[in-house]
C-alpha cells in the first residue's frame, strides 16, 4: 500500500476500504474472493479487524516477516498522527479556529465510515439473505449495547445459520 495509513480516518471501516482499494482494485495483488474470505476470518477473531487483516494479508503474501512488517507499518503512522493531533489539541485547543477545525473532522470521518461500509457491504452482501442478516445484525447492534464477545458469538452463529439455510 503506497498511501500512508494516517489518511485512513474512519477507523476499521475506512482502513479496510483503503486496503481493498489498494490491494484488490488497483494493484490486483489479491482477488476479491480471497480478500473477503480474509476479512470474514478476521471479523471472527477478537481484536481490531483492520490490524488483523493487514497482518494476515502480509503473512499471506510474504510469510512471517510480511506479517510483522505489515503490522508495524499499519500501527506506526497512526501512532505518530495521534501524538501530533494530541499535541495540537493540548497546545492550541483553546483557540477557536483550531477547536473548530478539530471538531470539523467529525462529520468528515462519519461520511468516510458510511461510504466505506457501503462499498464493502455492496461487494460482500450479494444475496438477499445475506443483506437481511446484515441488516438484522446492524439493527440489533444499534438497539442494544452488547459486549464485544457476545457480538462475535452472535456473528458466528448468524453466519453458521445462514450457511446452513442459504438459498
Closest by alpha carbon to 3, among 18, 13, 20, 16?
A: 18
Give per-residue pLDDT as tens, 43-58: 888 778 888 999 999 9
Give per-residue pLDDT as tens, 66-120: 999 999 998 888 888 889 988 998 999 889 898 888 888 877 777 777 787 787 7
What pLDDT sits at residue 79?
Answer: 86
Most confident of 4-13, 56-65, 77-86, 154-163: 56-65
Task: State the CB neighbour count (10 A cutoff) for residue 111.
Answer: 12
DSSP conformation class of 25: I
What pLDDT sits at residue 122?
Answer: 80
What percentage of the chain exceeds 70 in pLDDT? 76
Please say whether the beta carbons of 107 and 99 come within 8 A: no
Q: What is the DSSP string of 30-65?
A: S-HHHHHHHHHHHHHSSS-HHHHHHHHHHHHHHHHH
Higher pLDDT, 126 or 59: 59
> What 3-state DSSP class applies to 29?
coil
Domains of the chain, by residue range, sit at 9-124, 128-167
Amino acid at each position: 500500500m503506497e498511501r500512508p495509513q494516517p489518511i485512513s480516518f474512519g477507523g476499521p471501516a475506512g482502513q479496510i476500504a483503503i486496503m481493498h482499494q489498494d490491494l484488490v482494485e488497483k494493484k490486483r495483488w489479491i482477488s476479491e474472493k480471497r480478500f473477503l474470505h480474509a476479512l470474514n476470518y478476521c471479523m471472527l477473531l477478537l481484536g481490531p479487524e483492520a490490524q488483523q487483516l493487514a497482518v494476515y494479508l502480509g503473512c499471506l503474501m510474504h510469510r512471517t516477516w510480511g506479517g510483522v512488517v505489515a503490522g508495524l507499518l499499519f500501527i506506526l503512522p497512526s501512532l505518530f498522527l495521534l501524538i501530533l493531533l494530541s499535541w495540537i489539541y493540548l497546545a492550541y485547543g483553546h483557540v477557536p479556529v483550531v477547536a473548530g477545525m478539530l471538531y470539523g473532522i467529525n462529520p468528515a470521518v462519519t461520511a468516510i465510515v458510511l461510504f466505506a461500509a457501503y462499498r464493502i457491504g455492496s461487494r460482500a452482501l450479494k444475496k438477499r439473505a445475506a443483506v437481511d442478516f446484515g441488516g438484522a445484525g446492524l439493527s440489533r447492534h444499534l438497539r442494544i449495547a452488547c459486549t464485544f464477545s457476545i457480538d462475535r458469538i452472535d456473528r458466528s452463529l448468524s453466519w453458521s445459520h445462514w450457511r446452513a439455510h442459504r438459498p
